[in-house]
Structure 1
Amino acid sequence: MEIQKLNTSLSPAAWRAKFAKTAEGKRPQYEQGQGSTDELAQKRWTTWLEAMEATEDGKKDTEILKEAGLVGASVDAQQEYHALLQPIAEEAAATMEQLNYLKDKTVAAQTQALKKTLNRALFDQDVETAKLTTANDVNGKTNTATSLTQLCGAPGASARAKSVVQMLVCLCSYDSTDTNKPCEANQLATQLSAAVTEAHTVATDLISKCPDAEQSSTSSGEISAFLSALLTRFKSKATDIYIGDFTNTACDGSSGNGKCVMYKSNGKADVEAFRQLNWVKELRNVARMLTQAESTTGEVRQLPDSMNSLKQQAQNLRPQIQGRNKQPETAATTDVSNKDKKAQK
């Protein structure tokens, strides 16, 4: 805005008159000419109005001109300065336009959408803050599983597990037929093979055993690596794919049968259904969204430096004007000097 204010302060009175307040005290809106639209003027009109509002007071004009070393400068000098300022002012306006366009696409601005996408993958919940207070928060609000076999799958019957947390329950839940706890020595000894009514309790306990997250933000690369690691752990058996340990019958949580998650892979329809699972689809989505947001954040961080550089250029054009004004004098002096040398010869 500082550059636009300087540009406005140096503009001719006739140009500034376009933005004068009406009798009602309002600034005029852009109006296209007869049969044509000045796209640049239409785009910059609001910025020009703001600059006019900021420079309407004559004292403010003086302060702005003082910063550029133009107080007391001749009309010709001010006009030259204004001409040199034009491309800088346009570049500054374009930079601000880019900043305004990008600011809603940074990581910080996209946090809410990123959290919801990630929670769809992790919890199958379309919310910013996921909760695990009832069994349905784990075993599904639709197509609800009533047994661990339904949740985790069996040969020819895809698991209903669509989230990372559901998979965690399938792979790590305790079974009374086993003598060991599969994932953590101090995890709850709650059995889910007959029913999954305590799935939320088991899930909450297992999550609490995970290491604390790092203080730094999760990057798109880390999410992509996590998804790749999950996918590469799947193994094929007949017309199914599974992750974990499978012996026979089903992924019912027992080591005798399987602590696993199994999906059908018998044809295109099964492959497409696998791709549409929330933990697959939404992890890919959040990685893509975060990649774009990270790139945008990097661009936005550079724009203030660009604006500061343009501001410095805008306020230091006076030497260029002085240099221009000296050139004819230097040329004349050189010409006279050459004539004197010839005369001496």
Structure 2
Amino acid sequence: MTETARTRYFLLAILLIALAAAWPELSQPGLLNTRGGGDSPFLLQRLQQLETAVLDGHFPVRWMPDANYGYGYPFYNFYAPLSIYITFLFRLIGFSFVRSIHLSHLLGYFVAGWGMFLLARRWFAHGGAGNGWAGLLAAAAYTVAPFHLVNVYVRGDSLAEFWAMAFYPLVILAADGLFGGGRRGVALFGLAYAGLILSHNISALIFSPFLLLYLLLRMRFLTKKQENYPQACTEQSRSISQITQIGFFKSYKNLRNLCNLRIANPIFGFLLALALAAWFFVPALAEQSLAQLDAVTSGYFYYSNHFLGTADQPLIQSTFFVDYGVVDREAFRMGLVQTAVSAAGL
């Protein structure tokens, strides 16, 4: 069997896994009934209001025109909107509001699984043809990870965080391609990291320190192996020659030094990502004083108050399997089986 045919079978397997994860939602006509009443209607409102604004000629959308008792609400100005735009694509095809949300979840499961498959297959490339099976196992585990399912079946309205999980493996995969990948590696990383920022800004904030640590370890590993990328550095130098002329770097020599240190591509990758996402985060940061954000960034809504692993918020449930029917933050903890399997994987 050729590698292309084998990859197609793995692609089909990941699609079936995504269908299995989304089936409880796809098999019913309405919204999920989560948390004893449901947060899912919030997604319906966000999608309907984005569609209304787009049809009125607004793009990018920043305002929910009918929210807040008809006074409007700057939701998309401060909350990363990419997941709603992706869902809106299904509306353009002709699906209903509810079914568009269902299909967005299905697509998110598939993208997450496929990204993890590609990442694991690359990491275990030394296994030859068998590395695809390692990728499939990683894809299955990631697709049905407890927090992945909690975002859909417990929280209900967490479409943004759900899509952020789809971009995590893609960002790491693109980060690997920064070293020796030239302009293509920079472009792919910029697109992937910008996608994460636009999916859920808080998830990007939490993930970024780990991404930086990963890049530092990769650079250290390459330095230890005494590898060099003169061709990539030359390509990078030519591609930004105009930038050097306007003072971004003081001289061509400085650029060469950056290439020798293997940090030129990561730097330009981050700059590209920030440039692609600037239409969202620049107005959000610049216009904070025009909105009352304290109520949604402090107390219960401050993200660090939801970290697990402390005495008050243990990481593990006492139940054998994950119990999604428990109240408050219990659903975010791992069951004993998931804990044991994760420990064995380490």
Shared fold per TM-score greater than 0.5: no
Greater helix content = 2
The structure with higher relative contact order (CA 8 Å, sep 6+) is 1
TM-score, normalising length: structure 2: 0.25
Greater share of strand residues, 1 or 2? 1
Q: Structure 1 length as normaliser, TM-score?
A: 0.25
